[in-house]
Amino acid sequence: MSLYNLEKIFEPTSIAVVGASDRPGSIGRSLLENLKAGGFAGRVYPINPKKNEILGQKAYPNLSAVGEPIDLAVIVIAIKFAPMVVEECARLGIGGVIIISGGGKEAGEEGERIEVEILAKAREGGVRIVGPNCVGIVSSPAKMNASFAHIMPRPGSLAFVSQSGATCTAVLDYAHTQKIGFSHFVSIGSMLDADFGDVIDYLGNDPNTSAILLYVESVTNHRKFMSAARAVSRIKPIVLLKVGRSQAGAKAAMSHTGSLAGADDVYDEAFKRAGLVRVDTVEDLFDCAELMAKQPRPKGPGLAIVSNAGGPGVMAADYLALNGIEPAEIRPETMKKLDEFLPPMWSRSNPLDILGDASPETFRKTAEICAEAEEFDALLIMTTPQAQFPSTEKALELCKAMKKARFPVFTSWVGGEEVLESREIFRKNGIPTYETPERAVRAFLYMYSYDQNLKALREVPPKLSKKLLFDWEWADAIIRKTLSENRQLLTETESKNLLESYGIPVTPTRKAGTAKEASIQAEQMGYPVVLKLDSLDITHKTDAGGVKLDLRNSKEVAAAFDEIMKNAKRYDPDARVSGVTVQPMVSKKGVEIILGAKQDPDFGPVILFGMGGVAAEVMKDRAIGLPPLNRLLAKRIIDRTKVSRLLKGYRDYGTNMELLEEVLVRLSQLLIDFPEIYELDVNPMLAFKEGSLGLDARVIVKPALKPSPMHLTISPYPNQYETHSTTDAGLKLFLRPVKPEDSPAMERLFQAFSPRSIFWRFGKRLDSMPPELLARYTQIDYDRELAVVALDETHDENFIYGAGRVIGHPDSTEVEIGLSVGDPWQGKGVGTAILEKLVEVARDRGFKTAYGEVHEDNKAMLKALEKYSCTFEPLEKGNMRVTLSLE
């Protein structure tokens, strides 16, 4: 993650245009004119070796000739000259570059070589690059239009970032007509250096930006993207339109999972996990942008639909219902207020049909009552043309009344030419308006989904009722042995042993090379048994006639063995066949499910859960998720399937849901620990009332391209920072990184703070920890920051003595450290132990110095700092800034 020098691109004080021109129609001329028209207050230096003056400004032959500090260079000359210019930027200390020029990797091998050279020169000198092959950047706070776009967007709080230059100009044109303003308008181009993750990070920290819109064709650094998106979406909505499919779309032939989890499904799940709102079309992106730019976000699904015609109201309600939401019911007190002035024949329900002759005053009164009603979270007002009252009168009346509404208000004036003026009135007054009821409702649903995403991100996962244990050495030995034999496919026995090593329940499996061996194994195991083909080449045994069920004596076993061998020969004469496996016949009544995993080339391991058995690929009732998982995330995956209704209990079906969630968490840990696992199927897994049991398993392994945990897009729990210690006062501590499940214990710790301790830690007085603050302290991205809790080792993990955290700027060698200890345990060495752990983490992550604030009366903390090389700088109200050397 790097924000380094991005401020030189988005907030420059001086700009050089390399390739500036006065030739009409040239990009070099458009850039100069746009910079002037946009009102950029800094110095602009045209660079052109053939001109002394361009458009009334002095021109320079090269960057070196300027002789003044330059923050940003915009390159519009042929890309083959760009490496030389970037090298000059590095030498002169120019921190930011926008490369407008095309002809890079999209043009072939030569263009790709040029891009490699550009990037090497940039990294040598710390130069940040947006582009190449882009339209440029517009920054409203800097009054900078460093692009060749035809329109300077209005100032506003939306930021738009696009890979497509054509989409940029289209959105700009639309926004101009709809009077939508932007804080930043970014054509990111080929993302040679700065990518979506970098820009999301920058805009997330920008006070002028309230929401971010993305047009995405491809994501480059997926882990960086997910980290930035997960962090920023908690504080600002990110709405995304993703087009195209990645290489992950290729189906894997050897696995049910490979064919059930497609590329776009994985992207969709990743975006949900990051809290993003994904829209389906450019039209949706526009509609969503308009609502976000002009109105507050809805806090719930309660939409009031007001219309003077039944048809549009029903259309809006139907579309709402199609997306799983019913129109909010009108409360009696609201009904009473409406009955006082509406005609007797009004609908008396939501949608509120106030009849065709409704006057502008009737619309206004209805809207005002709905805006005050507690049961509503948003208001959609619709009308169709009528002879008595021009639609413009209704629009003007509503604009006056709805200026200070507490929730989003939007309209759909249905019609053609007669309603055009009304729509313009709404746009001028900041009220979004849509041509059809469905578009209006869809925009509302997207905004409501952001609120749901935010709640999901902050939800506290329940703890498992037991500590999970794993046999890493056993699993590692199985995988190493397979790879050392130049194999990819594990046998069924090996696959089940791998699963069993991580506590995933499977049926016992024994190998038999002859009919006699199969009979002996069956006798020892106990009848009835199942025989399955044991082959490294035939992966789908049922298709090959390689499974025989419910065998009850040695004669049946021998006959089944012979038939399986014949079927295998017929199915694939060249297949390697070792014999069969013998397994107990499971007679318990249960639900067949599939548990699977696959390596996605973009997002790493993906977990699949759904309806299993031979119909898995036909029914396609499945959901996917990304590791790491906890119980809450596992539950959400299960809940997204239809088979979950059976699993939760229906007639004689049902299972222990906590145990099933635990199975997914165990599989998640297996995938975290072993990036070699390429595909995995447990199908069927039988779920019954007491738990679940994997009846068949297939695992494919390949040499890992990245070590664990770098193969994941979401950083897992860093167990390397777990330690045990005893303080001088005799307290036995377990120090470890914080987990989302620690939220209740953190609340209890807060109750152990005195008002003075709260003020020292948070810099203000708090009576309780708000949910958003609690989520911020417990649900962290381990790539970005690390929080450590000190637990009472003699009790359980629900008892926390104190906590601390390290937060480092991605481009700095300095890290912020803060910690707090509950008042009953202050002065007993807990703070010292936490500080030592935080310093260890900071050093491990490469930081050189640490800083924090401490009050002069906090004697315990000042004593803990004595062992370090520190400097103290007085601040206000008795506080001191402490700087601690980590070297």
- The answer to whether 488 and 678 have CB atoms below 8 angstroms apart is yes
Per-position b or e across 120-130, b if 16+ CB within 10 A of its CB: ebbeebebbbb
Strands (E), 782-867: 785-792, 800-808, 814-821, 849-855
* More confident: 18 or 205: 18
pLDDT attached to residue 1: 36
pLDDT attached to residue 537: 85
Averaged pLDDT for residues 331-338: 96
pLDDT attached to residue 9: 96
246-300 per-position pLDDT tens digit: 444 334 334 444 445 557 889 999 999 999 999 988 888 888 888 888 888 888 9
633-659 per-position pLDDT tens digit: 999 999 999 999 999 987 778 889 999
- Domains of the chain (ranges; CATH) run 1-148 (3.40.50.720), 150-181+198-294 (3.40.50.261), 297-458 (3.40.50.261), 719-885 (3.40.630.30)
* Packed helices 222-232 and 263-273: angle between N→C axes, nearest 10 degrees: 40
558-574 per-position pLDDT tens digit: 999 999 999 999 999 99
| Mean pLDDT, the chain, integer | 90
pLDDT attached to residue 254: 41
84-101 per-position pLDDT tens digit: 999 999 999 999 999 999
Residue 369 CA neighbour count, 13 Å, CB half: 21
321 contacts: CB under 8 Å, gap ≥ 6 = 327
- Sequence-separated contacts (24+) of 631-635 with Cβ below 8 Å: 631/461, 631/462, 631/463, 631/464, 631/658, 631/661, 631/662, 631/665, 632/459, 632/460, 632/461, 632/462, 632/740, 633/461, 634/660, 634/661, 634/662, 634/664, 634/665, 634/668, 635/661
pLDDT attached to residue 404: 79
- The answer to whether 560 and 548 have CB atoms below 8 angstroms apart is yes
674-704 per-position pLDDT tens digit: 999 999 999 999 999 889 999 999 999 999 9
Asked if residue 245 has pLDDT above 60, the reply is no
633 contacts: CB under 8 Å, gap ≥ 6 = 461, 625
pLDDT attached to residue 257: 46
Cα angle for residues 840, 832, 802 (degrees, 5° grid): 95
318 contacts: CB under 8 Å, gap ≥ 6 = none
Closest of 833, 838, 848 to residue 886, by C-alpha? 848
* Packed helices 360-372 and 391-401: angle between N→C axes, nearest 10 degrees: 30
576-607 per-position pLDDT tens digit: 999 999 999 988 888 999 999 999 999 999 99
Reported as type and span, the H/E element at residue 231 is: helix 222-232
User: How would residue 235 be classed by pLDDT, with cut points 50, 70 and 90?
Assistant: confident
486-511 per-position pLDDT tens digit: 999 999 999 999 999 999 999 999 99
Asked if residue 355 has pLDDT above 70, the reply is yes
748-805 per-position pLDDT tens digit: 998 988 888 887 777 778 888 887 788 888 888 898 889 999 998 776 667 899 999 9
Averaged pLDDT for residues 386-395: 84
User: How would residue 809 be classed by pLDDT, with cut points 50, 70 and 90?
Assistant: low
66/58 Cα distance (integer angstroms): 10
Averaged pLDDT for residues 12-23: 96
